[in-house]
Amino acid sequence: MAEFTMELNEDQRGVRDWIHGFAAEVMRPAAAEWDEREEFPWPVVQEAARIGLYSLDFYAQQFFDPTGLGIPMAMEELFWGDAGLGLAITGTGLAAIGVLTNGTEEQIGTWLPQMYGDADDVKIAAFCSSEPDAGSDVSAMRTRAVYDEAKDEWVLNGTKTWATNGGIANVHVVVAVVDPELGARGHASFIVPPGTPGLSQGQKFKKHGIRASHTAEVVLDGVRLPGHCLLGGKDKLDERLARARERVRAGGARTHNAAMATFEASRPTVGAQAVGIARAAYEVALDYAQTRVQFGRPVIDNQGVAFQLADMRTRIDAARLLVWRASWMATAGKPFTSAEGSMSKLFAGETAKAVTAQAMQILGGNGYTRDYPVERMHRDAAIYTIFEGTSEIQRLVIARTISDVPIR
C-alpha cells in the first residue's frame, strides 16, 4: 500500500502533461462549438480514442495506480480543458465502475471492452439509476426486474431519467428492483446489451451547462435479458437478498452499506472534475485581472480583486487536497470513518460553483458574454452541487457518519 504523497511521480507527471496537451489543443478550441451545438461530440471522443486517452487500457492503468492519484490527476486536466467534452469522454466510466464493482470476472471481461469499443469503432456506455420519483431517494426506485425461471431470463420495465449517454450508448447498465420489500437492499444491476428490444431513449434534456454531454430518459418496456446479464450472477444475488431479509427481520436498515462504500470511493473522482473547472476559471480571471486596466492601473492592484483571487486559489488547493486524500484512502482501502469521499465532493463542487462565479465577476461585462469561457465554466460548474449526490445529500452522509445519528 502506497503512503499518501502530494507529489506526482515522473510517470504521472508525463501522463498529466500528455492529457494537458490534449485538453489545451483539442478540447479548448472545440468547447464553445459543442456547447452551442448541444450534441454528443463524437469527433472529440474519437480523437481521444485515437491517441489512447478514451480507452479501457488508459482508465484501467489510472484506476489501478497504487498512489490513488492517477484518476483525480487525469480528471482535473480533462475538465480544465472543458467540462462538457470531459464528461463526454469520461461518462462511460460510470457504467464501467458499475460492472467493475458488481460484475463477475467473466462479465468484466465481456462487457468493459464493448463499452469503450476501439479507436476505429468508438462506443460509449450509460449508467441508469435515477428515476423521475427516485433521485436523492434511491430507495423509491420503481423499475422492476422479474425473473422468468423457465427461460432463465429477467424482464425489466420502468423509466430511468437523467442518464448520461442514455439511449445513445452501446451498453446500458440498469439498476432495478428485484425485491420491493427490501428498499435499496432489494436492488440489482443488469447489463442491457447493444440492440436489445424494448430499450429506447425518451426525451433528451436541454441543459444549463455541460451541454456537450448527452443526458436523456431511458425507457425499458418489457426488456428481456438472459440470466447472465445480472451483474454478479443469480447465486450471489440470492445470498445477498437472504442476508438482507434477515437484517430487515431483525430491524436493520434498508439502506445498502456496500453501495454507500462504493459511492464514497467514487465521489473524489467527481470532485476532481470540479477542481479542474475551478482551476480553469481561476486562471482566466488571474490573467484578466493583470491585464485589464481601469483607473490607470490593472484591476488586480485593488485589494478587492486581488483578495478574491487569493481566496479562489486557496479554495481550489484545499479542494484538491480533500480529493487526493479521499482518492488515496479509496485505493489504500482505508475506511471512510468521516465520509471523506463525500467531504471531497461537497467541497470541490461548492468551490467550482463559487470560484467560477467570482471569475465572471472579475471579468466584468466580458465575463457575462460567450466571447470569454468563464460564463460556460460557471454553467458547467453548477451541476457539481447536483449530480452524483447533491450537496445536501453529501452533508447528510457526512453528518450521519460523524455523529452516528440517523439525521433526516
Ligand X SMILES: Cc1cc2nc3c(=O)[nH]c(=O)nc-3n(C[C@H](O)[C@H](O)[C@H](O)COP(=O)(O)OP(=O)(O)OC[C@H]3O[C@@H](n4cnc5c(N)ncnc54)[C@H](O)[C@@H]3O)c2cc1C
- Give me the residues that bind ligand X (CB under 6 A), please: 94, 127-130, 135-136, 162-164, 207, 210, 215, 383, 386-390, 392-393, 396
Q: Identify which of residues 284 and 393 has a Cβ nearer to ligand X in the complex.
A: 393
DSSP string covering 346-394: HHHHHHHHHHHHHHHHHTHHHHTSTTSTHHHHHHHHGGGGTSSS-HHHH
Cell numbers representing residue 379 in the block: 454553467
Residue 44 or 138: which CB sits closer to ligand X?
138
Measured from the CB of residue 244, what is the shortest distance to ligand X in angstroms?
21
Q: Which is nearer to ligand X, 16 or 254 (CB)?
A: 254
Given 47, 77, 264, 388, which residue is catalytic?
388
The Cα 141–Cα 182 span in angstroms is 11
Q: Which residue's Cβ lies closest to ligand X?
A: 135
- The CA radius of gyration of the chain, in Å to the nearest whole number, is 22
Please, what is the minimum distance in Å from the beta carbon of residue 303 to ligand X? Answer: 35
Compare residues 15 and 174 and give the one whose CB is closer to ligand X: 174
**Rounded CA gap, 320 and 322, in Å?**
5
Indicate the residue among 76 and 380 with the shorter CB distance to ligand X.
380
Residue 326 CB coordination number (10 Å):
30
Q: Give residues with Cβ within 8 angstroms of 95, minimum separation 6.
A: 115, 125, 126, 127, 165, 169, 171, 172, 173
- Inter-CA distances, 291 with 42, 142, 253, 301, 366, Å: 36, 55, 58, 11, 13
What is the closest distance, in whole angstroms, from the C-beta atom of residue 158 to ligand X in the complex?
12
Tell me the backbone φ, ψ of residue 379, rounded to 5 degrees.
Answer: -65, -40
CB of 360 to ligand X, least distance (A): 21
Going by their DSSP bridges, the two strands 144-148 and 121-122 should be labelled as unpaired
Q: Which is nearer to ligand X, 285 or 393 (CB)?
A: 393
Name the CA dihedral angle for 6, 333, 263, 338, rounded to a multiple of 10 degrees.
-80
149 is catalytic: no
Q: What is the helix (H) or strand (E) element at residue 65, kind and residue range? A: none
Give the residue ranges of DSSP H helices in 183-302.
234-249, 257-291
Q: How far is the CB of 407 from ligand X (least distance, A)?
A: 9
**CA distance linking residue 255 with residue 277, whole number of Å:** 33
CB 225 within 8 A of CB 301: no
CB distance 144 to 225 below 8 Å: no
Nearer to ligand X, 127 or 324 (CB): 127
Q: Pairing mode, if any, of strands 187-192 and 171-177?
A: antiparallel
Shortest Cβ 393–ligand X spacing (Å): 6
Cβ proximity to ligand X: between 308 and 342 the closer is 342
Smallest gap, in angstroms, from Cβ of residue 163 to ligand X?
5
CA within 13 Å, CB half, 148: 10
Q: How far is the CB of 36 from ligand X (least distance, A)?
A: 17
**Residues with catalytic annotation?**
388
